[in-house]
Amino acid sequence: MLRRGLFITFEGPEGSGKTTHSRLLCDFLKKEGYKVLHTREPGGTLISEKIRKILLDPKNKEMDVACEMLLYMAARAQIVKEKILPSLKKGKIVVCDRFTDATLAYQGYAGGMKLEVINSIASIVTKGLKPDITFLLDIDAKAGLLRAGKSKDRMERKSILYHNKVRNGYLDIAGKEPGRVKVISATGKIEETQERIRKAVLKICHSRI
C-alpha cells in the first residue's frame, strides 16, 4: 500500500496502445498487491459515459470545437470528483486512459483552441490535479489509425492532417514537461514496451512506500 496514491496516465494518438498498455499495467500492479483503479476518459462514471456517447457519436458532425472541449472537461470534472480523487486519497494507484493532455493535443494543438484557455478550465475541473507520470505512446498518426480499425468514431474520422497535429502536439507537451511525460515508441513489441512502463512505475512505487 502506498502512503499516498499515484496517478498514472496514458496518452497518444489513436491506436497507439493506450488501452492495451494501461490494462496490462493494471493487471501487473494488482498481482504485485497494489490497490488499483483503472479508468478511461471520457467516461468512467455514469454521467461521463453518457457524455462520451455524445462526443464519439459519428452523427454529431456539426459539433463545434468549443462544445467538444467543454464536454471533455465536463466528463473530466465528474470522474475527478467521483473516482480519481477519492481513490488517490485511499492510497490507490489510479491508471487513466487519457486525461488533460488529450484535450490540449486534440482541441488545442489540432483543434485550434488557445492552450491557456484549456489549461485554465482544466485547473478548475481537476482541482489542480496533475498526473505523477504520463506515458506518451508515440506512433505515426496514419499507422495508429490503421491499427485502430474500421468502425471509426467521430474523433477517428477527422482528417489525417488533424491527427498529425495531435501527434505533434503531444510531442510538444512532452518537450515542455520531460520530468512527467515519458515518450515511448509504440511501434515495438508490446511485451518490451510494457516492460519499460512497469520498470518506470515500480521505481516510483518503491520510492513512495
Ligand X SMILES: Nc1ncnc2c1ncn2[C@@H]1O[C@H](COP(=O)(O)OP(=O)(O)OP(=O)(O)O)[C@@H](O)[C@H]1O
Q: Is residue 190 close enough to count as binding ligand X by CB under 6 A?
A: yes
In the list ligand X, Mg ion, none, the entry touching 81 (Cβ below 5 to 8 angstroms by class) is none
Shortest separation between residue 114's beta carbon and ligand X, angstroms: 25
**Ranges within 51-70 binding ligand X (CB under 6 A):** none
Q: Are 75 and 114 in contact (CB under 8 A)?
A: no
**Which of 5, 9, 14, 103 touches ligand X (CB under 6 A)?**
14
The residues binding Mg ion (CB under 5 A) are 18-19
C-alpha to C-alpha distances, 184 to 10, 22, 154, 168, 190, nearest whole angstrom:
11, 13, 26, 14, 11
Q: Are 9 and 96 in contact (CB under 8 A)?
A: yes
Tell me the β-bridge partners of 6: 93
**Which of 9, 20, 48, 78 touches ligand X (CB under 6 A)?**
20
Q: Is residue 101 close enough to count as binding ligand X by CB under 6 A?
A: no
C-alpha to C-alpha distances, 4 to 1, 162, 205, nearest whole angstrom:
9, 38, 10
What letter does residue 6 receive in the DSSP assignment? E
Tell how strand 93-97 and strand 36-40 pair up. parallel
In the list ligand X, Mg ion, none, the entry touching 194 (Cβ below 5 to 8 angstroms by class) is none
**Which of 18, 38, 76, 165 touches ligand X (CB under 6 A)?**
18
**Ranges within 126-185 binding ligand X (CB under 6 A):** 147-148
Number of helices (H), then strands (E), in the chain: 9, 5
Provide the residue type at 127 as one letter. Answer: K
Q: Is residue 44 close enough to count as binding ligand X by CB under 6 A?
A: no
Q: How far is CA 180 from the centre of its chain?
A: 13
C-alpha to C-alpha distances, 100 to 25, 125, 144, 170, 183, nearest whole angstrom:
20, 10, 20, 11, 16
Interface stretch with ligand X, choices 10-18, 25-33, 81-89, 173-181 (CB under 6 A): 10-18
Cβ nearer to ligand X, comparing 184 with 201: 184
Q: Is residue 17 close enough to count as binding ligand X by CB under 6 A?
A: yes
The residue behind cell 512505475 is: 201
Cβ nearer to ligand X, comparing 5 with 44: 44
Retrieve residue 104's grid coordinates.
490540449
Cβ nearer to ligand X, comparing 130 with 147: 147
Shortest separation between residue 157's beta carbon and Mg ion, angstroms: 16
Q: Is residue 194 close enough to count as binding ligand X by CB under 6 A?
A: no
User: Which residues of the shown chain bind ligand X in the complex (CB under 6 A)?
Assistant: 12, 14-20, 147-148, 186, 188, 190, 193
